[in-house]
Structure 1
Amino acid sequence: MTSAPIGVAVIGAGMAGRAHCAGYRMAPTLFDPPLPPVRYVSVIDANAAVAQDAATRYLYEEHGTDWRALLEDDRVHAVSIVVANQLHREIAAALLAAGKHVLCEKPLAPSLQDATAMVAASQAHPDLVAATGFVYRRQPAVAHIRDLLETELGEVSHFNGHYWCDYARSADVPMSWRFRGGPGTGALGDIGSHLVDLAEFVCGPLVQVSGGTFTTKVTERALPVGQTYGHAKAELSAVREPVENDDVATFTGHFASGAVGTFSISRIAPGNPNALGFEVFAEHGAAKWTMDRMSEFEVIDNLRGDGNDGYRTVLVGPAHPYIRNGVPMDFPGTAFGVGDLFGYQARAFLEAVAGIVGGLPAPAGFVDGVRDLTILDAVTRSAAAGGAVVDVTPVDIAVGIPVGVAHV
C-alpha cells in the first residue's frame, strides 16, 4: 500500500464525465481505511467552456482541451476516460504507456478487435490498474440480491432483465456518435452493455444467445448546430444523416448454470428516462429490483406453500452492501442515487491504485470489458442471422482475450 498522493484527471466532461468528477470528490469521504490524499488535477474536454465548467464545479485545479497534455504531467496518476467509444483505444493505450492508471467507461471499445488491443496494452503494464466502468455492480440492492442467491435463494432458473430509456424517442434529438457505428452499437452497446454485465454479475456467465432482434424506428437524424452533450436536444441544421444502429434490441440467453435469461433493451421507450431492472427466479425464492425505486428491492424467501407466499419490500440500509459509511446519513430507508454509485466506483478504483487490501470489491477490469463485448458480439451475430443460436466465445482469462482471437 502506498500513502503517496494520487493525482486524478477526467477526460470528457459531459453527463457521465461530470459523474466521474464528482465521484472522485466523494471517494475520500467514503468507507475505511482512509485513502491516500487525492489531488484533483485536471478536466479535459474538446469544448473548453464545458471543461472549465466541470473543473470549476468540482474544484479541479485546471482544465484543457487536449488529453495528450496529461501524458507528460507527473501530477496525474489516475485518469477516467469518458468520451465517445471509438476514442477509447487510442487514449487508453497512450495513458498506459505513459504510466497512468485507467478507468474507462463502458463499453470498453466499439469492437472486440479494439478491446483486445486495449487488454494487450494493459498487460504490457501489469503494475497499472486498468478498469472498466460497470457502475451498477455497486448498486446496494443488486449486490445484496447476488449475496442472497449464493446463501439462501439457491439455483437460478430465470433472469428477466430490461433497460429501457427514452433519450432517443424524439426524432428531434440530434445526430451524435451514439447513432453511428453499425448494428449492435446502439441501444445494445450503449445501455445493453450494463444489463448484460449486471446479468452475469448476478447469475454467472452466459454461454449462448439466440433470438437476437434489432429495430431502428428513427432512421435519420439532423446534425446539430455546434457541439452537443449527453442526451440533450439542440439547434438542428438542415443536414441529415442515417442512423446506423439499433433503437431496440431483444434476445434470449443461456447461462452456464442452466438458467435462461430474457433481455429487452430500448432507447425509445416513452416514460422511461432510466429504467434498468430485473427479476430473478430461483429454487427457494425470487427477487426483483428496478432503478425507478433503487433504494429498495422485493424478495420472496422462506417459502411456506400455504397460500401466503408473496413478495415483501425491503428498504436498503446499513445491513446491505455499500450503505454503512457510504452515504452521509447511513440509516435505514434513507435515499441514495446513481451519483453515489460513481463515488463507490471511484473509491474502489483508487483503493486498487493505492494497493489497499480488504476494502471494497475490486473494480471491473479490462478483461470484464472484453467479456461483455463477446456477448454483445454474439447477440449482433444472432440478429444478423435472423435470430440464430450463437455460442458466446469464452474469454481466456490467462491472456484476457476471446479464445481464438489474436492480439491486434
Structure 2
Amino acid sequence: MTQKSIGVAVIGAGMAGRAHLNGYRTASTLYEAGLPEIRLVAVADAYEPFARDAARRYGFERAETDWRAIAAAPDIDAVSVVVANHLHREIVEGLLAAGKHVLCEKPLAPGVADAQAMTDAAAGTGLVAATGFTCRRSPSVNAIRREVTDGTLGRVQHFNGHYWCDYGHNPDAPMSWRYKGGIGSGALSDIGSHLIDLGEYFCGPVESVRGAVLSTQVPDRPVPLGTAVGHSADVAVGDRREAVENEDIATFTALFRNGAVGTFSVSRVAFGLANALGFEVFSEGGAALFDLSRPAEFTLADTSAPDRVNGYRRVVVGPEHPYIAGGLPMDFPSVGHGQHEFFVWQARSFLEEIAGLDRLPRCATFAEGLHNLRVIEAITASAHAGGKSVTVQ
C-alpha cells in the first residue's frame, strides 16, 4: 500500500542542490503510473537569496534559511541533503529523528566515524536512508554492467578509471569548504568517491589499496568576499589567503575481492577538463569503455565476431538499455541524455522506495556510503605510509 502523497524538500540550493530540485520536479513524469503525488514543498539554504531563487525556479512552495525548519515541518516526508560534507551528520541525524526519509549526497560524511554514526542512526527506523552516487544511474554504465553480469563480457579483470576536473586549477579561485578538511577529504572524496563506487559497481568490494599518492598543487587560495555557488570563480576575493588543507590529485591501485585489479586517477587541477569521468573494463570475454562527455553511448569489444572484422564498436543508447524506455520525454533511439537525467532517475528511485514500489534498482544505502569512506580511509593511510598496502576495514 503506497501513501497518498510525498512532500519533498532539499537542503542546499547550490549547484548539486539545484540538480536534486530538478530531479524531484521531473520524477513524477517518468515511467509507469502508481507513484504517489509528489509535493514540492521547500528549499533551505543558509544564504536566503539562493533559497528563494531556487524555490522560484523549480516550483517549490517556500524557502527556508535553517534546516531545522525542514525537520520540523509536518508536510515534508523526504529530504535531500546537499551541503558541505562537514554539515551532513548533524542535519541527517536531525532529519532521521524527525521521521524524514533522507537522500544524502556523497561523500556521506567527512570521515568514517561520522558516517558510522549516521548509519547507526538510520538503522531500525524503517526510513529510507540513501547515498547519492548518481553515476550508478547512467544507462551506459548499467548497459556495460549488464554485459559483465549477464552478457558477453563476464568477470572484470581490470578496471581503469579517471575523474579529472579543472575547478581547482586557477590558484586565485576563491577558497571554499571543498579545500578544507585534512588530506584525504579533497579531490579524493569530492569526485574520487564516484569513481571508487563505479569500480565496486563492476568488480565488487575493494579488498586492499596500495601505491596511493595524494598531492596538493595549489597551496593557498584567496578568501572570498561574498557567497559563491558550486565551483564558481565569479565571486570577488580579498587580499588575504588561506592554506589549502587537502589534496588536488590522488592516484592509487586497488585489489578487489574477486581478484580484479583497479587503477585510479583523480584530479581537480586537470586543465581544460571540466568534468572528465571515464573508465575501461577489461573482462574475460571482452572490454568496454565509457566517457561521461558522451554519456548516451559506450564502446564495446567482445569475441562475437571473427578476428578479421572484430574490434571496438560504438553502441548508441536507446530503449533496449536501462532507464531509457519511459525515462525520457522522447525515449527513441539516439535521442540522447546528460548528467542531469542521472539526478532525475535517482530521485525517482528514492521516491519509489519510499512509496513501497519495487520497480527500479534501489539507491545506494548509508551502509554503502560508509563503506566508500572506509576505502577512502585506506587510500589515505596508504599515502601516509609511503604507498604501502592497506586492507580496507
**TM-score normalised per structure 1:** 0.94
- For residues 275-290 of structure 1, what are the structure 2 equivalents within 5 Å? 275-290=276-291
C-alpha separation between the residues in 1 aligned to 2:209 and 2:308?
36
- Output the amino acid matched with 2:53: D
- For residues 8-407 of structure 1, what are the structure 2 equivalents within 5 Å? 8-125=8-125, 127-151=126-150, 152-233=152-233, 234-304=235-305, 306-357=307-358, 359-393=359-393
C-alpha separation between the residues in 1 aligned to 2:5 and 2:329?
24
Q: Could you tell me whether the CA contact under 8 Å between 1:41 and 1:62 is conserved in 2?
A: yes
List per-residue Cα deviations over 1:61-117 (Å, max 9, x = no partner): 000101101222110000000000000000000000000000000000001000000
Q: What is the CA distance between 1:237 and its match in structure 2?
A: 1.1
Amino-acid identity (%): 55
Q: Could you tell me whether the CA contact under 8 Å between 2:95 and 2:101 is conserved in 1?
A: yes
List per-residue Cα deviations over 1:121-149 (Å, max 9, x = no partner): 10141x11000000000000001111101
- Output the amino acid matched with 1:145: I
Structure 2 unaligned segments of length 5 or more: list them. Answer: none
C-alpha separation between the residues in 2 aligned to 1:198 and 1:39?
32
C-alpha separation between the residues in 2 aligned to 1:202 and 1:326?
23
- Output the amino acid matched with 2:120: A
2:2 corresponding residue in structure 1: 2
List per-residue Cα deviations over 1:280-337 (Å, max 9, x = no partner): 0011110000101111000002355634321000000000000001111001111111
Q: Could you tell me whether the CA contact under 8 Å between 1:284 and 1:303 is conserved in 2?
A: no
1:404 corresponding residue in structure 2: none
Q: What is the CA distance between 1:205 and its match in structure 2?
A: 1.1
- Output the amino acid matched with 1:283: E
Q: Could you tell me whether the CA contact under 8 Å between 1:140 and 1:321 is conserved in 2?
A: yes
SS in 2 for 1:189: helix
Structure 1 unaligned segments of length 5 or more: list them. Answer: 394-408
SS in 2 for 1:289: strand
Query: More displaced, 213-222 or 146-155?
Result: 146-155
C-alpha separation between the residues in 2 aligned to 1:374 and 1:273?
27
C-alpha separation between the residues in 2 aligned to 1:373 and 1:301?
34
- Output the amino acid matched with 1:352: E
Q: What is the CA distance between 1:34 and its match in structure 2?
A: 2.6
C-alpha separation between the residues in 2 aligned to 1:303 and 1:245?
47
C-alpha separation between the residues in 1 aligned to 2:260 and 2:202?
12
List per-residue Cα deviations over 1:249-290 (Å, max 9, x = no partner): 000001111110000000000111111110000111100001
Q: What is the CA distance between 1:216 and its match in structure 2?
A: 0.8
C-alpha separation between the residues in 2 aligned to 1:95 and 1:143?
31
Q: Could you tell me whether the CA contact under 8 Å between 1:138 and 1:345 is conserved in 2?
A: yes
**TM-score normalised per structure 2:** 0.98
Q: Could you tell me whether the CA contact under 8 Å between 2:156 and 2:202 is conserved in 1?
A: no
C-alpha separation between the residues in 1 aligned to 2:155 and 2:83?
39
- Output the amino acid matched with 1:143: N
Q: What is the CA distance between 1:154 and its match in structure 2?
A: 1.4
1:398 corresponding residue in structure 2: none
C-alpha separation between the residues in 1 aligned to 2:321 and 2:214?
37
C-alpha separation between the residues in 1 aligned to 2:72 and 2:189?
33
- Output the amino acid matched with 1:323: I
C-alpha separation between the residues in 2 aligned to 1:373 and 1:202?
18
C-alpha separation between the residues in 2 aligned to 1:271 and 1:154?
35
SS in 1 for 2:309: coil
Q: Could you tell me whether the CA contact under 8 Å between 1:285 and 1:303 is conserved in 2?
A: no
Q: Could you tell me whether the CA contact under 8 Å between 1:107 and 1:369 is conserved in 2?
A: yes
C-alpha separation between the residues in 1 aligned to 2:320 and 2:299?
15
- Output the amino acid matched with 1:3: Q
Q: Could you tell me whether the CA contact under 8 Å between 1:131 and 1:363 is conserved in 2?
A: yes
C-alpha separation between the residues in 1 aligned to 2:209 and 2:195?
14
Could you list the structure 1 runs, at least 4 aligned residues long, displaced by more than 2 angstroms after superposition. Answer: 302-309
SS in 2 for 1:108: coil
